Amino acid sequence: MKQDYLVLENLVKIFGSGKDTIVAVNDVNLKVKEGELFTLLGPSGCGKTTALRMIAGFEIPTS
């Protein structure tokens, strides 16, 4: 049985504060097992790049 290679649990990224708050990624859960390929598919502005930047370590998750 292959091990989990990447696990995201309740991933959240919020930019700004107060009434200027933008929720870029909200409660994302994902498990990718060793050897699997995956893709993030969605419309423009839905948080795909922000999620990938957090996975890569370029952005710090809010929670």
What are φ and ψ of residue 48, in 5° steps? -60, -50
In this predicted model, what pLDDT tens digit does every residue of 15-61 receive, in sequence order? Answer: 998 999 999 999 999 999 999 999 999 999 999 999 999 999 999 99
All residues at 6 or more sequence positions from 29 whose CB lies less than 8 Å from its CB, including other chains: 8, 9, 10, 11
pLDDT (mean) for 5-19: 95
What are the E-state strand segments in 1-63? 4-15, 22-33
